[in-house]
């Protein structure tokens, strides 16, 4: 009888063997505020500070790709005041990001920007254009984003190519679908982290996360720290990733 050799577990993260791409489902801002008797907008402001710190920390330790779930296609159902507060925080980040070019972070927005306010769309275009050549890290901000909507968008583009005679149905492969997603040209996320104690991915990177390691943590996003990220990376590194093999 043959026994599979057990993987030796690490006691601390190996910063020389990090995931290429980490996704964050930034959840728990509203509950954080409610527990403190504060308006939900205060939770989003606190969450925005955590977001900024995570961007800097990921870049500093050598993460090459980072995707954050900032606003889903379903979040429009939230109270108008809360949506407006989130959009104001987004404006602030997009403006402030212009002052951090020295950090060499390329910024991309994933999602349908058409419903956004014109000034936000203009700020997005400016940020994407001005950060295009930055090499230290790629930061994807999923905004008005949904995994199903993203796949639908890709399928419509491919259907249009077939209709125009540019592509045969038999030529459609997993690679051609991936090439029409918002994350085209980037590696799929190795690790997806969801704080807040919820155990679902909520329509986040559905196609790309087929083989992602999922780590759920019982800490609200505004309280999420660099130590929590280290713990999630350690959990990821201690897993045996076989991708369907043995």
| Percent with pLDDT over 70 in the chain | 93
What would the mean pLDDT of 152-173 be, rounded to a whole number? 97
203-238 tens-digit pLDDT:
999 999 999 999 999 999 999 999 999 999 999 999
Which residues, other chains included, contact 2 with Cβ-Cβ below 8 Å and sequence gap of 6+? none
Nearest to 10 by CA among 1, 2, 18: 18
Strand partners, 191: 22, 213
Catalytic residue among 53, 75, 112, 223: 75
Distance CA 71, CA 145 (A): 7
| pLDDT confidence of residue 243 | 64
Q: Is the pLDDT of residue 34 over 90?
A: yes
Q: Is the pLDDT of residue 176 over 50?
A: yes
Q: What pTM does this model have?
A: 0.92
Distance CA 194, CA 202 (A): 10
Binding residue numbers for Mg(2+):
27, 213
Residue 63 DSSP class:
-
| pLDDT confidence of residue 97 | 79
| Residue 96 pLDDT grade (very low, low, confident, very high; cuts 50, 70, 90) | confident
2-27 tens-digit pLDDT:
444 556 788 899 999 999 999 999 99
Which three-class secondary structure state does DSSP give residue 240? Answer: coil
What would the mean pLDDT of 180-190 be, rounded to a whole number? 97
| Residue 106 pLDDT grade (very low, low, confident, very high; cuts 50, 70, 90) | very high
Element (H, E) at 156: helix 147-163
Q: Is the pLDDT of residue 133 over 60?
A: yes
Domains of the chain, residue spans: 21-146+195-236
CATH fold of 21-146+195-236 reads Undecaprenyl pyrophosphate synthetase (3.40.1180)
Binding residue numbers for substrate:
28-32, 40, 44, 72-74, 76, 78, 194, 200-202
pLDDT: which is higher, 174 or 102: 174
| pLDDT confidence of residue 76 | 95
Catalytic residue flag (residue 140)? no
What would the mean pLDDT of 177-195 be, rounded to a whole number? 98
Catalytic residue among 16, 17, 27, 119: 27
Element (H, E) at 23: strand 21-25
Catalytic residue flag (residue 75)? yes
């Amino acid at each position: 009888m043959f026994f599979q050799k057990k993987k030796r577990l690490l006691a601390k993260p190996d910063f020389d063997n990090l995931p290429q791409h980490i996704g964050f489902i930034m959840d728990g801002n509203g509950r954080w505020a409610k527990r403190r008797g504060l308006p939900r907008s205060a939770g989003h402001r606190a969450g925005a500070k955590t977001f900024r710190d995570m961007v800097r920390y990921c870049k500093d330790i050598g993460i090459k790709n980072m995707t954050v779930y900032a606003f889903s296609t379903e979040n429009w159902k939230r109270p108008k005041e809360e949506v407006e507060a989130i959009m104001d925080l987004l404006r602030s980040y997009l403006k402030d990001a212009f002052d951090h070019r020295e950090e060499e972070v390329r910024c991309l927005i994933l999602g349908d920007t058409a419903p956004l306010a014109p000034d936000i769309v203009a700020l997005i275009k400016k940020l994407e254009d001005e950060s295009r050549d930055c090499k230290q890290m790629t930061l994807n901000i999923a905004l008005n984003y949904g995994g199903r909507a993203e796949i639908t968008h890709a399928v419509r583009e491919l259907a249009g190519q077939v209709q125009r005679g540019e592509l045969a149905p038999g030529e459609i492969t997993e690679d051609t679908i991936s090439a029409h997603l918002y994350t085209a040209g980037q590696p799929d996320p190795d690790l997806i982290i969801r704080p807040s104690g919820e155990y679902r991915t909520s329509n986040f990177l559905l196609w790309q996360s087929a083989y992602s390691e999922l780590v759920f943590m019982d800490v609200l996003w505004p309280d999420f720290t660099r130590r929590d990220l280290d713990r999630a990376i350690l959990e990821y590194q201690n897993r045996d990733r076989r991708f369907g093999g043995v």
